[in-house]
Homo-oligomer: A and B are copies of this chain.
Amino acid sequence: MSLSGIFPIDRWNFTTQSILNILSEEDYQLLIASQSEQRYQKGDVIFREGAVPAGIFLVRSGKIKKYKVDHIGKEQIIYVANQGELIGYHAVLAEERYPDSASALEASSLCFIPKEDFFEVIHSSPGFSQRLLKALSHEFTVLANNISVFGQRTASERLAIALIVLREKYKDDGRADEEIFLNISRTDLANIAGIAQENVIRLLKEFKAEGILETEGRKIIIKDIKLLVKRANYR
């Protein structure tokens, strides 16, 4: 079951497009010409905040979290990148160091693209930079939306919103049936929603009691997306 028609997730600007959708076949071939695919285990770091970027990464499979670590070691997850998305290109384009770190949420496969190759495609394909502008502008909207969520929403609303967004990201994995299984730890959920891990557990218990979801150990299975949307308090 898609969210379209139930929760206007696109209209509310919580999702971004796979970069592959904005690439023509030629551009894509050019981009991955000197590719080197690498596998990452769950928890492996792809790049660290402050490092100088040498290129960008295309997520071939798996899920990557982008996050910033606090002065007291607290982690805030900024974004979860899914299969088909590019990561690290903002820093390359802005000619800055990485403003955040990236690591694998689950076993993932990434394709490294040297920044020279990336710039070559940008320079040689005028259409590409326009589509990139469009994609970046949309991503900007998504992030701005997130700021308002943090400023205006309660802990339970933020968790509900995080679950809705994650459900979209996880729905293409595995199971073909209605129930979508989120393979993510309580701690990562807490670091996405910006709340304490213990409260994630308590809130998940509430959601479970309301029939929104089921849990089996670490597994979270979203059962009733409509109720979840109601919990998020959107309209």
Q: Does A83 contact B (CB under 8 A)?
A: no
Render A89-105 as a binary contact track against B, CB cut-off 8 A, 1 for contact: 11111111001100000
Alpha-carbon distance A134/B133, docked complex (angstroms): 10
Q: Does A147 contact B (CB under 8 A)?
A: yes
Render A104-143 as a binary contact track against B, CB cut-off 8 A, 1 for contact: 0000000000000000001100100110111011111101
Alpha-carbon distance A115/B138, docked complex (angstroms): 17
- Which of A27-35, A148-156, A176-184, A213-221 sits within the interface? A148-156
Q: Does A235 contact B (CB under 8 A)?
A: yes
Identify A143's interface contact among B74, B76, B93, B144, CB under 8 A: B144
Alpha-carbon distance A63/B105, docked complex (angstroms): 41
Q: Which of chain A's residues 59-103 have a Cβ closer than 8 Å to chain B? A: 66, 68, 70-71, 74, 76, 78-79, 89-96, 99-100
Contact B94 A141 (CB under 8 A): yes
Q: Write the chain B residue with the least CB distance to A195.
A: B151
Q: Does A55 contact B (CB under 8 A)?
A: no
A74-B152 contact, Cβ under 8 Å, with A90-B140, A137-B93: yes
Contact A235 B71 (CB under 8 A): yes
Q: Determine the chain B residues whose CB is within 8 A of the CB of A13 once the complex forms.
A: 96, 99
Identify A134's interface contact among B93, B140, B146, B147, CB under 8 A: B93
A147-B138 contact, Cβ under 8 Å, with A122-B130, A133-B93: no
Task: Count chain A residues whose beta carbon lies closer than 8 angstroms to a beta carbon of B.
Answer: 47
Copies in the complex: 2
Q: Does A199 contact B (CB under 8 A)?
A: no
A137-B76 contact, Cβ under 8 Å, with A68-B148, A144-B100, A194-B150: no
Render A4-29 as a binary contact track against B, CB cut-off 8 A, 1 for contact: 00000000010000000000000000
Extra contacts, 17 of them, besides A93-B137, A123-B126, A151-B191 (Cβ < 8 A), are A68-B148, A68-B152, A70-B148, A78-B144, A78-B147, A90-B137, A93-B133, A94-B141, A95-B134, A96-B138, A129-B129, A129-B133, A132-B133, A133-B133, A143-B144, A150-B151, A150-B194
10 A-B pairs closest in CB distance = A151-B194, A150-B150, A94-B137, A93-B137, A76-B151, A68-B148, A76-B148, A143-B143, A90-B137, A94-B138
